[in-house]
Amino acid sequence: MDIRFQNLGPEQWKGAVMLAPVCEGESLPGQPELDKAAPWLAIAPALRDFKAKKDELALLHGHPELPIPRVLAIGLGPRDKFDISGLRKAVAAAVQRCHSLGLESILLPEPCLARLPGGRERLVEEAVLAACLALYKFTVLKKPAEDEPAPPQWLALGFDGESVPDAAHAAARRGERAATAVARARDLANMPGNLLYPEVMAERAMELAQSAGFTCRVLDVPALEAEGMGAMLAVGQGSARPPRLVVLEYAPAGHEQEKPLIFVGKGITFDSGGISLKPSANMHQMKSDMSGAAAVLAAMTALAEEETPRRLVGLLACAENMPDGQATRPGDVVRAANGDTVEIVNTDAEGRLVLCDALVYAQKHWTPAAIVDVATLTGACMVALGTGLAGLFSDDDDLCERIMAAGGVGGEHFWRLPLWQDYAEQLKSETADICHAGPREGGAINAALFLKHFVREGVRWAHLDIAGVDWNSKTSPLCPAGAAGFAARTLLELGRGGVQ
C-alpha cells in the first residue's frame, strides 16, 4: 500500500473512505475537519449507534458520488486511557475492515490524530506503521483466496494547510520504513526450513545489501574453519545444509573510522534439537529459530536505506541443527573461536554455540561501540516472561536503558534479567574449559552467562532472548499467526538513536 499525502484542507481531500478516530464520549460530527470533509456526516442516520468504545468500528455511508463517500469511525475508548499501542491496534483493525470491504483508497485526517495525546509526529508514525502491518500476510507459498478483495492501493494522510509539514512527512516515512523492516523479518522467519537454509539467508542478505547499500561477505565452511569457529561448525555438521556466517557492514562517508554498533543474530534455520531431538509437538515452529538473524538483517537494511549516519555491523550466525551420522553427540568437546574448549552436553542448546563464535568474531575484527545479540535462545526465558516480554541481559545500565527505550517506541517490551555470576559455577566442565549448558533452573540466565564468557571485560554488550515473543500463536490486527518480526523495530530504533 502506497503512503500518500493530501493537503489544502478537508474540502479538497479524497478517498473511498475516511477514517475518523474518536475518543469515547466525544462527538464525531463536531470535529471541524471531519465536518468539512464529509458534511453529510451530521445527518448520517447510523451515527447515533456509535459510542467510540475501544475496538468499536462503524461504517457510515454518504452519497456514492461524493469525494469522500464513506466514513469509518474508529472507537478509541476513553481519552484518559488512550495510548499509542491502542492507536496502532485501532488503525490496523480499521484498515483490515477497509481491505475486506474492497475499498481501494483510504484517507486519514492528520488533524484528528494531532488532537490525541502522544505527540503529533509519533501518532502519524505509528498510524502509518499500523496501517502497513495490518495488510501483512505471508503469501508467497499460497494461492490467493478467490473471494479475497485486492488490498487498498493507497492511504493518504490529509493535512490542513498549503503544504505537508516536513516533520509529518518524515514521521510517515519512518513508520513506513519500520513496517517494511518488520514485514521483512516476518517473511524470513515464516519461510520453512526446506526453503530457507543458511545459504539462502546468505543470498537474501546479499540481495538486500546490494539494493540498500551496505556490504555483505559470507564465510563458508573453510572460512569458518580458518577462523577456528569450532562451536558454530559443530552445530551445522549434522545437516546437509552447511552453516554460514554472514557479515554485513555499513559505513557511510565520514563514519568509516567510527566504532561500529554491532548486531549479532541467531540464525538457526531449523532447530530439530540435533541428537538431543526435540519432541514433535510444535517442532515446526523451529523454522523461525532464525528470528534473531532476521531482525538483524531487516534492521540493517532499513538503516542503510535511510542512510543513518553511523557505522554498523551485522553478523548472522546461520546453521541448521539436524541429527545425522555426522552430527555432534552429547558429550562432544569442540574448540570455540577464542581457543577455549566447550563441552556440548545437549545438542539442543545450539544457539549459544553459533553465537559465541560470532561474538568472538565481532571483537576480533572490530572495536565495537556496543554489541547487541538477539536470539530465540531459551524455552526458559519464555517460561519466565511469557509471550509478551523479551529477556534483556546486560551489565551495562546505560545500554539497557537505551534498548528498553528503543523497544518502547514500537511496543516491543524487554524485561531485564540478571547475569547472576554465582550461576557461572554451573557451567564448569570436568573435561573442557567450559560446559555450554547448566541446569534447567535459571536456564535463560545460564545461557546468557555462557555468552558472557566470550565477551571481553570492558566491551559493552547486551543479549536479547526473544524466544516466545518472536512467534504469535493467534492472529491479531497487527500480526497474523506466525512470525512476529520481533526486535527488528527495536534494533532499527537503536540504530537510529544513540549508543556511541
Q: How far is the CB of 279 from ligand BES (least distance, A)?
A: 11
Radius of gyration over every alpha carbon of the chain, rounded to an integer in angstroms: 24
Residues 251-270 that bind Zn ion (CB under 5 A): 268
- Name the residue nearer to Zn ion (CB basis): 108 or 268: 268
Judged by CB under 5 A, does residue 187 bind Zn ion? no
- Name the residue nearer to Zn ion (CB basis): 343 or 350: 350
- Name the residue nearer to Zn ion (CB basis): 292 or 495: 292
The SS3 of residue 223 is helix
Q: Tell me if residue 88 is catalytic.
A: no
- Name the residue nearer to ligand BES (CB basis): 170 or 345: 345
The secondary structure of 287-323 as a DSSP string is GGTTHHHHHHHHHHHHHHHTT-SS-EEEEEEEEEE--
- Of the residues 352, 402, 460, 489, only one is catalytic, namely 352
Judged by CB under 6 A, does residue 378 bind ligand BES? yes
Whether residue 252 contacts residue 312, with contact meaning beta carbons closer than 8 Å, is answered with: no
Q: Cα separations (Å) of 137 from 97, 144, 264, 484? A: 15, 11, 27, 11
Q: Which residue is nearest to Zn ion (CB)?
A: 271
Residues 402-441 that bind ligand BES (CB under 6 A): 437
Label residue 7 exposed, middle or buried (CB < 10 Å: 0-12, 13-18, 19+).
middle
- Name the residue nearer to ligand BES (CB basis): 4 or 278: 278
Q: Tell me if residue 364 is catalytic.
A: no
Size of the site for ligand BES (CB under 6 A): 17
- In angstroms, rounded to a whole number, what is the distance separating the alpha carbons of residues 84 and 94? 15
Judged by CB under 5 A, does residue 465 bind Mn ion? no
Residues 281-310 that bind Zn ion (CB under 5 A): 289
List 238, 351, 468, 495, residue binding Zn ion (CB under 5 A): 351
List 110, 160, 271, 470, residue binding Zn ion (CB under 5 A): 271
Judged by CB under 6 A, does residue 271 bind ligand BES? yes
Judged by CB under 5 A, does residue 198 bind Zn ion? no
Label residue 195 exposed, middle or buried (CB < 10 Å: 0-12, 13-18, 19+).
exposed
Q: Which residue, chain included where needed, has cell 534473531? A: 292
Residues 340-359 that bind ligand BES (CB under 6 A): 346, 348-351
Judged by CB under 5 A, does residue 348 bind Mn ion? yes
Q: 30-36: list long-range contacts, CB under 8 Å, 24+ apart.
A: 31/111, 31/112, 31/115, 32/111, 33/9, 33/109, 33/111, 33/112, 33/158, 33/160, 34/10, 34/71, 34/109, 34/112, 35/10, 36/9, 36/10, 36/11
- In angstroms, rounded to a whole number, what is the distance separating the alpha carbons of residues 91 and 70? 16
Site mask for Mn ion (CB under 5 A), range 349-368, x = bound:
-x------------------
Q: Which residue is nearest to Mn ion (CB)?
A: 348
Binds 379, which of Mn ion, ligand BES, Zn ion, none (CB < 5 to 8 A, cut-off by type)? Answer: ligand BES
Judged by CB under 6 A, does residue 15 bind ligand BES? no
- Of the residues 4, 36, 54, 278, only one is catalytic, namely 278
Q: Which strands, in side-by-side order, build the sheet including 70-75? A: 2-6, 154-158, 105-109, 17-22, 70-75, 57-61
Binds 378, which of ligand BES, Zn ion, Mn ion, none (CB < 5 to 8 A, cut-off by type)? Answer: ligand BES
Whether residue 434 contacts residue 352, with contact meaning beta carbons closer than 8 Å, is answered with: no
Q: How far is the CB of 305 from ligand BES (least distance, A)?
A: 29
The secondary structure of 429-489 as a DSSP string is -SSSSEES---STTHHHHHHHHHHTTS-TT--EEEEE-TTTTEESS-BTTB-SEE--TTHH
Label residue 152 exposed, middle or buried (CB < 10 Å: 0-12, 13-18, 19+).
buried
Q: How far is the CB of 185 from Mn ion (least distance, A)?
A: 20
Residues 238-297 that bind Mn ion (CB under 5 A): 271
- Name the residue nearer to Zn ion (CB basis): 176 or 271: 271
Judged by CB under 6 A, does residue 379 bind ligand BES? yes
Label residue 194 exposed, middle or buried (CB < 10 Å: 0-12, 13-18, 19+).
exposed
Q: How far is the CB of 291 from ligand BES (least distance, A)?
A: 9
Q: How far is the CB of 381 from Mn ion (least distance, A)?
A: 13
Judged by CB under 6 A, does residue 10 bind ligand BES? no
In b/e form, how buried is each residue of 448-471, taking b as 16+ CB within 10 angstroms? Answer: bbbbbbbbeeebbbbbbbbbbbbb
- Name the residue nearer to Mn ion (CB basis): 33 or 350: 350
Query: What 3 state SS string does 321-361 have?
Result: ECCCCCCCCCCCEEECCCCCEEECCCCCCCHHHHHHHHHHH
- Regarding beta strands 2-6 and 434-435, do their DSSP bridges make them parallel or antiparallel, or are they unpaired? unpaired
- Name the residue nearer to ligand BES (CB basis): 239 or 376: 376
List 113, 181, 372, 380, residue binding ligand BES (CB under 6 A): 380
Q: How far is the CB of 350 from Mn ion (least distance, A)?
A: 5
List 363, 376, 394, 472, residue binding ligand BES (CB under 6 A): 376
Active site residues: 278, 352
Tell me which residues touch Mn ion (CB under 5 A).
271, 348, 350
Tell me which residues touch ligand BES (CB under 6 A).
271, 289, 346, 348-351, 376-380, 382, 437, 443, 467-468
Tell me which residues touch Zn ion (CB under 5 A).
268, 271, 289, 351
